């Protein structure tokens, strides 16, 4: 069995010594090649080339951004997918994820341990036993995502956190909390919410201040605490959506409190829930922040979301 290990050398929870241990462990089970990413988008290029060269498994060591890039590389491997008529999962290399980032939402949603050593043990057992799971993905225009996407307030908070980390701040629950509060207090969209969700054959959901899309649950974690706007979301179903009508400080704060207190599902007049959606479009009256899998991708005014079932095999 041939495998490629994609290493993000900036992974926050591993060292050079631990990476050497990982390489030795994987080489006990597979014929392994190792590549280090050097820039944004590099993991996608490497994963695509690996799929087209006939690799059986792509292993990532990094955070959710590295996973997202690898998945997009696999899902766009033209030499593999040309003439494909059935689910992609049956012809693409499997994906194995070693948690190396600060949050690792995707790995944890799969039930993998937070500790990378324990995660490697699970992966080795899966490789030796031929054990895998087939999952669905989400797609936003031409970009795939594994666990979540967002427009509006959600993505603007991601942007604030990324900017703080570039200034040397550490990703902590306190940083996210301060970013949410700061974004709520400075946002002009409270008076004229810019977002609308359009679905085939359904009336539009308008006057929305933020839209959170989930391909699984939870949406994210604050430390050890799962945050679950749409607790019914699943890799095995379509996309789930939670949106807020407007961003009044009082009602938005109540919704944030419901999330923090782990209530089953946020509720209230301002909350919109959509479950198991095959496709929909989010349209903004003015450019809005946009994120996929926790990576800020700039501003958009229109994004088409699609559920892609049985898209990928994952070792877990």
Greatest mean pLDDT range, 2-11, 180-189, 217-226: 2-11
Q: Is 17 inside a domain boundary?
A: yes
Domain hosting residue 87, numbered range: 2-130
Per-residue pLDDT band for 101 (boundaries 50, 70, 90) equals: confident
Per-residue pLDDT band for 83 (boundaries 50, 70, 90) equals: low
- Note whether 71 and 82 are within 8 A (CB): no
Provide the pLDDT for residue 267: 67
What angle in degrees, to the nearest 10, is found between the helix axes of 16-27 and 116-129? Answer: 10
Q: Are residues 103 and 177 in the same domain?
A: no
Provide the pLDDT for residue 292: 97
Q: Is 143's pLDDT higher than 70?
A: yes
Q: Is 68's pLDDT higher than 90?
A: yes
Residue 284, both tokens:
């903004």
Provide the pLDDT for residue 182: 58
Q: Are residues 6 and 114 in the same domain?
A: yes
Provide the pLDDT for residue 248: 61
Q: Are residues 272 and 301 in the same domain?
A: yes
With a pLDDT cut of 70, the percent of the chain lying above it is 83
Q: Are residues 226 and 280 in the same domain?
A: yes
Provide the pLDDT for residue 177: 58
Q: Is 173's pLDDT higher than 60?
A: no
Q: Are residues 282 and 166 in the same domain?
A: yes
Per-residue pLDDT band for 205 (boundaries 50, 70, 90) equals: very high
What is the enclosing helix (H) or strand (E) of 241?
strand 239-245
Q: Is 180 inside a domain boundary?
A: yes
The CATH number that applies at residue 166 is 2.60.200.40
Q: Are residues 11 and 123 in the same domain?
A: yes
Bigger pLDDT: 291 or 167?
291
Q: Is 276's pLDDT higher than 90?
A: yes
Residue with tokens 């799971």: 133
Domain boundary among 104, 130, 156: 130
The CATH number that applies at residue 81 is 3.40.50.10330
Q: Are residues 94 and 242 in the same domain?
A: no
Distance CA(260)–CA(109), nearest Å, equals 18
Domain boundary among 77, 102, 130: 130
Identify the CA nearest to 94 among candidates 123, 62, 65: 123
Provide the pLDDT for residue 254: 65
Q: Are residues 180 and 104 in the same domain?
A: no
Q: Is 251's pLDDT higher than 90?
A: no
- pTM of the complete model: 0.89
Greatest mean pLDDT range, 8-17, 201-210, 248-257: 201-210
Q: Are residues 96 and 187 in the same domain?
A: no
Q: Is 142 inside a domain boundary?
A: no
Find the angle CA(44)-CA(95)-CA(213) to the nearest 5 degrees: 75
Provide the pLDDT for residue 171: 60
| Least confident segment among 89-103, 125-139, 295-309 | 89-103
- Note whether 299 and 289 are within 8 A (CB): yes
Q: Is 261's pLDDT higher than 70?
A: no
Q: Are residues 262 and 152 in the same domain?
A: yes
Domain boundary among 95, 130, 165: 130
Q: Say which DSSP state 219 is in.
A: S
Exposed/middle/buried for residue 223 (C-beta within 10 Å: 0-12, 13-18, 19+): exposed
> Helices marked H in the chain — which ranges?
16-27, 42-52, 64-75, 78-81, 105-109, 116-129, 153-166, 173-186, 249-260
Helix (H, G, I), strand (E, B) or coil at 176: helix
Number of compact structural domains in the chain: 2
DSSP bridge partners of 196: 283
Q: Is 125 inside a domain boundary?
A: yes
Q: Is 196's pLDDT higher than 70?
A: yes
Q: Is 141 inside a domain boundary?
A: no
Q: Is 218 inside a domain boundary?
A: yes
Per-residue pLDDT band for 265 (boundaries 50, 70, 90) equals: confident
Bigger pLDDT: 277 or 168?
277
Q: Going by C-beta distance under 8 Å and a sequence separation of 6 or more, which residues neighbour residue 94?
A: 56, 57, 58, 132, 312, 313, 314, 315
Q: Are residues 256 and 298 in the same domain?
A: yes
Q: Is 244 inside a domain boundary?
A: yes
Dihedrals phi, psi of 137, to nearest 5 degrees: -125, 170
Q: How many alpha carbons lie under 13 Å from residue 18 in its C-beta half-sphere?
A: 19
Provide the pLDDT for residue 175: 58
Q: Is 139 inside a domain boundary?
A: no
Q: Are residues 97 and 206 in the same domain?
A: no
Provide the pLDDT for residue 193: 87
Helix (H, G, I), strand (E, B) or coil at 18: helix
């Amino acid at each position: 069995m041939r495998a490629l290990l994609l290493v993000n050398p900036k992974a926050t929870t591993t060292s050079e010594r631990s990476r050497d241990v990982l390489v030795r462990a994987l080489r006990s089970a597979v014929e392994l090649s190792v590549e280090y990413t050097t820039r944004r988008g590099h993991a996608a290029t490497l994963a695509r080339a690996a799929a087209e060269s006939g690799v059986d498994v792509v292993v990532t060591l990094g955070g959710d951004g590295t996973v997202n890039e690898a998945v997009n590389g696999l899902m766009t491997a033209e030499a593999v997918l040309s003439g494909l008529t059935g689910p992609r999962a049956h012809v693409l290399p499997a994906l194995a994820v070693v948690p190396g980032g600060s949050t690792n939402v995707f790995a944890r949603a799969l039930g993998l341990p937070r500790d990378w050593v324990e995660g490697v043990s699970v992966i080795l057992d899966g490789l030796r036993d031929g054990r895998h799971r087939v999952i669905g993905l989400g797609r936003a225009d031409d970009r795939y995502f594994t666990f979540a996407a967002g427009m509006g307030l959600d993505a603007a908070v991601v942007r604030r956190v990324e900017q703080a980390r570039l200034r040397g701040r550490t990703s902590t629950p306190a940083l996210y909390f301060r970013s949410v509060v700061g974004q709520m207090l400075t946002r002009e969209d409270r008076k004229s919410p810019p977002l609308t969700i359009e679905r085939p054959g359904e009336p539009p959901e308008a006057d929305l201040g933020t839209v959170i899309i989930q391909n699984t649950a939870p949406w994210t974690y604050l430390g050890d605490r799962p945050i679950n706007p749409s607790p019914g979301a699943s890799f095995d179903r379509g996309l789930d959506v939670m949106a807020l009508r407007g961003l009044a400080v009082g009602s938005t704060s109540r919704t944030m409190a419901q999330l923090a207190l782990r209530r089953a599902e946020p509720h209230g007049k301002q909350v919109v829930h959509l479950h198991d959606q095959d496709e929909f479009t989010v349209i903004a009256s003015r450019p809005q922040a946009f994120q996929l899998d926790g990576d800020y991708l700039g501003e958009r005014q229109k994004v088409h979301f699609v559920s892609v079932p049985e898209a990928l095999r994952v070792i877990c």
